[in-house]
Structure 1
């Protein structure tokens, strides 16, 4: 049975989806973009600020599910420009312990929702 988990601190979904779905011990988190829900603004001030906002949104959803970044087992990063990879990687890496970091892929795409530069989705697991 699946359980829907949404966070009031993350951007409201703009389509027929939820922030995350828990199935058993796994949490599947929808892709998050750099929208600041509290201020109701899309962050467009540069890839550093945008990545920080995406990670903040993901953290809010994890916290709503009673988890942290330590529970993340898989991440997918979508970005418009692979030249931003090192900046994104540095900010992303601040949220994980290098020895227990999740599996991950990073792909450059032609376009993302609301014309943002980055979107990240995650899968997390409850600790046994």
Structure 2
């Protein structure tokens, strides 16, 4: 049975959804932008800094469930300007072991929550209790 949960360090979602849904095998994290983070507003407009802050928040959320960014198997990224993909990738790639990148989709979405430049959604494999 899935568990529906919100990250206590972030505001309750303004949409009918949860920050995370966890089942026996996966952690699903809803799209996250700097506008969702209490410390993210100053970074708005700088895709590198927005990427860095969102990836840190995703890492923290996965750690709450006993995982890490290395457990991510699928990522969806939305950028307000697809021409910024190289800037985003330069920061994104730092968070993974070279050659062990999750499956990914990256699209251009002109309007993201709170005027953010990037939104990232992830699906991560949960560690079985015997693997931890």
TM-score range, shorter chain: 0.7 to 0.9
Shift of 1:49: 1.2
Pairwise CA distance, 1:43: 3.0
Q: CA deviation at 1:126?
A: 1.8
Residues 6 and 61, structure 1, Cα contact 8 Å, conserved in 2: no
Task: Return closer, same or farther for 1:40/1:123 CA change in 2, 3 Å cut-off.
Answer: closer
**Cα offset, 1:10, TM superposition:** 4.1
What RMSD over aligned residues (CA atoms) do the two structures have, in Å? 1.8
Structure with higher strand content: 1
Query: Are 1:33 and 2:39 matched, yes or no?
Result: no
Q: 1:13 Cα shift?
A: 1.6
Q: 2:98 aligned with 1:98, yes or no?
A: yes
Aligned length: 127
For residues 51-104 of structure 1, what are the alpha-carbon distances to aligned partners after superposition, in whole Å with 9 as ceiling and x for unaligned? Answer: 111112211211111110010000000001011100101111111112221100
User: Secondary structure of the equivalent of 1:97?
Assistant: coil
> CA 1:13–1:120 in 2, change beyond 3 Å: closer, same or farther?
same
Runs of 4+ in 1 over 6 A off after TM superposition: none
| Structure 2: gaps spanning 5 or more residues | none
Give distance in 2, aligned partners of 1:42 and 1:31. Answer: 19
Q: Measure how far apart 1:8 and its partner are.
A: 2.6
Q: Is the Cα contact below 8 Å between 2:20 and 2:27 reproduced in 1?
A: yes
SS in 1 for 2:124: strand
TM-score, length basis structure 1: 0.88
Gaps of 5+ in 1: none
TM-score between the two structures when normalised by the length of structure 2: 0.85
What's 1:49 paired with? Answer: 49
Describe the shift of the 1:118–1:74 C-alpha distance in structure 2 as closer, same or farther (beyond 3 A).
same
Cα distance, 1:112 vs structure 2? 1.0
